[in-house]
Amino acid sequence: MPVSVLIVDDSGFFRHRIEEMLKDDPRLQVVGTAVNGKEAVDLAKRLKPDVVTMDVEMPQMNGIEAVRVIMREAPTNVLMLSSLTHEGARVTLQALEAGAADYLPKDIRAWMDKGSSVRSQLIDRLVALGRSRRHQRPSALERSFPGSTRKGTTMVFKPEPETRQAPPKPRPARPLTREEAPRTSARPVSPALRRDPPPAARGDVAATPPSRVRFPDCKLVVIGASTGGPAALQKVLTALPANFPYPILLVQHMPKTFTQVFAERLNQQCNISVKEAEDGDRLKPGQALLAPGGLQMMIDPKQTDRVRVLAGDERLTYKPSVDVTYASAAKTYSGKVLGVILTGMGADGCDGARLLKQAGSTMWAQNQETCTIYGMPQAVVNAGLADAILALEDIGPLLANRGPR
């Protein structure tokens, strides 16, 4: 049965363009269109689609308000479409806070170009989100939708301040040298690996009880995530105390503008400090460095208490890539790394996790039931690289309570 899609956009061009992109893929079926948030809510309740594409700015009821109502009255996965501006990033994160599962940049030039990758990105996301929606258990859905009458919360960011300081200008990035580059695959990821495995291939592995998890002797925590990652990272990081004894590296698949805004918002919520990484930043206990969108983050092989933020290999599919950061940590810190892989499409992080394990480090993977998309953790679990498979709500407390006393 194809994934049913509800398209919501006040622009006739975008409604038509999305329908045109989806019509020839047998895995997807457009079941309705709406021109504003109020219509979207009514159709979501009546049609019960597997996934909704949602514009942000619309008359009568905007996209964020519509997401909140849908999550309360007819929970389903929502893919937000938003601009790549600073304001677009801020609004998109508000939508994720309201319960949206993922987002896709809405660059009209790319959407008009029939040769661009937008169609494949849109289809991959809709198929993965639609299939995951069908196979989520009720308890997982309850945890996924804040703002509803169901139990559980995810994003709970405080309102942003009225004024904002101008962000510092990033240092120019340069490509990695042969000596600096971590040894990880630079091959483009095949379409088969980029897509979430079909339901028949999913193995539901029970979560490891927290009482059975042994906290490793480590010097660094590295966390990777993609689809569903903003909410998952917020859940994990807000559980950590200000005196958390390890530095943290975060790799979240996001465009450049989004990572800056995401780091600012996390920093408002967390007891630890969170910032978008800059080339030369020091690794500090109680601080999380978020890899900038469009670049790669690795540990400086010459000054191992600092990070390098560089352009990286152009052949790499993901920028930033979890594999690159994991591989760099394995090369520099050997067996003293705790790697954590959270929800996301594809298999980014699996190659790097293998290097971490070969170096003697520890890997934790989020379990299927609490993932938005089980692709990245599943790849690590299926490869036999996970020392613990954990429910999302257990990861933060385990990090907070199992460190050295």
| pTM score over 0.85 | no
**Which residues have a Cβ under 8 Å from the Cβ of 158 and sit 6 or more positions away?**
268, 269
- Give the separation between CA 399 and CA 385, rounded to whole angstroms: 19
CATH topology of domain 3-144: Rossmann fold (3.40.50)
Q: Which of 94-98, 143-147, 351-355 has the lowest mean pLDDT?
A: 143-147
Nearest to 232 by CA among 241, 221, 223: 223
Task: Tell me, yes or no, if 273 is annotated catalytic.
Answer: no
Q: At residue 363, does pLDDT exceed 70? A: yes
Q: At residue 172, does pLDDT exceed 70? A: no
Query: Do the Cβ atoms of 103 and 230 come closer than 8 Å?
Result: no
344: DSSP letter: -
- Give the separation between CA 238 and CA 153, rounded to whole angstroms: 12
Query: Do the Cβ atoms of 255 and 228 come closer than 8 Å?
Result: no
Q: At residue 195, does pLDDT exceed 60? A: no
Query: H/E element holding 33?
Result: strand 28-34
Nearest to 385 by CA among 326, 315, 325, 311: 326
| Main-chain phi, psi angles of 404, to 5 degrees | -60, 140
Q: At residue 335, does pLDDT exceed 50? A: yes
The domain locations on the chain are: 3-144, 208-401
Q: Indicate the pairing of strand 307-310 with strand 77-82.
A: unpaired
In this structure, the number of other CB atoms found within 10 A of the CB of residue 26 comes to 6
104-109, Cβ contacts within 8 angstroms, sequence gap of 24 or more: 104/79, 104/80, 105/81, 105/255, 106/14, 106/55, 106/81, 106/82, 107/83
Query: Do the Cβ atoms of 70 and 78 come closer than 8 Å?
Result: yes
Residue 314 Cα distances to 173, 187, 252, angstroms? 13, 10, 18
Tell me: the pLDDT tens digits for 118-134? Answer: 899 999 999 999 988 65
Tell me: the pLDDT tens digits for 266-285? Answer: 999 999 999 999 999 999 99
Answer whether 3-144 and 208-401 agree in fold. yes
Q: CATH says 208-401 is which class?
A: alpha beta
In this structure, the number of other CB atoms found within 10 A of the CB of residue 218 comes to 19
- Give the separation between CA 130 and CA 118, rounded to whole angstroms: 18
Kindly name the residue from 4, 82, 226, 328 that is annotated as catalytic: 226
Kindly name the residue from 82, 132, 196, 253 that is annotated as catalytic: 253
Tell me: the pLDDT tens digits for 311-332? Answer: 978 788 899 999 999 999 999 9
Task: Tell me, yes or no, if 86 is annotated catalytic.
Answer: no
Nearest to 329 by CA among 309, 350, 359: 359
Q: Which of 51-60, 181-190, 268-277 has the lowest mean pLDDT?
A: 181-190
Q: At residue 157, does pLDDT exceed 80? A: no
Query: Do the Cβ atoms of 297 and 307 come closer than 8 Å?
Result: yes
Q: At residue 162, does pLDDT exceed 80? A: no
b/e map 48-79, b = 16+ CB within 10 Å: ebbbbbbbbebeebbbbbbbbbbbbebbbbbb
Task: Tell me, yes or no, if 253 is annotated catalytic.
Answer: yes
Kindly name the residue from 102, 281, 348, 394 that is annotated as catalytic: 348
In this structure, the number of other CB atoms found within 10 A of the CB of residue 28 comes to 21
- Give the separation between CA 54 and CA 137, rounded to whole angstroms: 24
